[in-house]
Amino acid sequence: MDVGGAPQERLQPVAAAARRGCAALTPVGWRKSKADVVRALVDAHDDLLPPRRRRDISQIAGSGVGVRPDVYCWEPDGWAPFFEQYAIVRGGEETSLKGIADNARNRIDLDPGVCAALRFYLRRMRPTSLSFENFEMAEALMVVTHQAEHLKAPTASEAEVECDAVQQVRPLVRAAGWDAEYATEMASQAWELSYQRLPQAFRSSACRDGGPLDRNPRSSAWP
């Protein structure tokens, strides 16, 4: 069976990467090819509407995880078509996409909503207690640290990475200068409103106070 070329010239590199993936004879080869396809997709959409490099968000990853990637915030008009094609590559397993990590480039690309939610954190502006803005900021901190953890530990599972990410919210809030009470509120929102609603593949029974994935087993504060 013959397979036609890409519908647009700028997607030719994507098509070429996909064809290499089809020729891969091993699971490892296919996973590498999928990463090449996603990278080519990023480049194709990057050329149309270049995302903005954000060194301030990179510092969040450095503070929480200890890596310092290049972080890019996309515009809505660029992220939406990219995600539509990315979902095809992923076989429909993604219902939403907040960010992606590219280990080969030490790069993180973020949904525009994630970057917008981080404005409070970056400006050290505390939203009203128990507001939706607090939840958005807590979730955005999880997204950034989740992707940073992928760069730090490329072979870690999604569940392991997400458990680390939810535990980063409390120390990041404290590092921004806010009090322990607010840090607890933010950590609770991250746990109850974000982590608990994730697909099963992103959660683990080991992610609990005193569990195998507890980063601070000597502390009873969770997450």
Residues 192-214 have pLDDT tens digits of 999 999 999 999 999 999 999 99
Note whether 12 and 101 are same-domain residues: no
- Owning domain of residue 70: 52-202
Note whether 131 and 145 are same-domain residues: yes
Would you say residue 154 lies in a domain? yes
Would you say residue 1 lies in a domain? no
Would you say residue 69 lies in a domain? yes
Note whether 182 and 146 are same-domain residues: yes
Note whether 21 and 124 are same-domain residues: no
> Letter for the amino acid at 91?
G
Note whether 112 and 169 are same-domain residues: yes
How many domains, in total, are found in the chain?
A: 2
- Residue 128 clears pLDDT 90, i.e. is over it: no
Would you say residue 34 lies in a domain? yes
User: Are the CB atoms for 86 and 94 separated by under 8 Å?
Assistant: yes
Would you say residue 104 lies in a domain? yes
Q: What is the pLDDT of residue 162?
A: 97
The CA distance from 98 to 198, in Å, is: 13
User: Are the CB atoms for 201 and 159 separated by under 8 Å?
Assistant: yes
pLDDT digits (tens, 9 = 90+) for 129-142: 778 999 999 999 99
- Residue 22 clears pLDDT 70, i.e. is over it: no
Using DSSP's 3-state secondary structure scheme, residue 133 falls into helix
Note whether 65 and 155 are same-domain residues: yes
Note whether 186 and 78 are same-domain residues: yes
Would you say residue 212 lies in a domain? no
Q: Which residue has the higher pLDDT, 31 or 51?
A: 51
Note whether 121 and 168 are same-domain residues: yes
Would you say residue 119 lies in a domain? yes
Note whether 33 and 69 are same-domain residues: no
Would you say residue 147 lies in a domain? yes
pLDDT digits (tens, 9 = 90+) for 148-177: 999 999 999 999 999 999 999 999 999 999
Note whether 12 and 94 are same-domain residues: no
Note whether 94 and 192 are same-domain residues: yes
- Helix (H) or strand (E) segment spanning residue 76: helix 76-89
From residue 210, alpha-carbon distances to 37, 46, 104, 205, 206 in Å are 40, 43, 34, 11, 9
Note whether 14 and 28 are same-domain residues: yes
Percent pLDDT > 90 in the chain is: 68
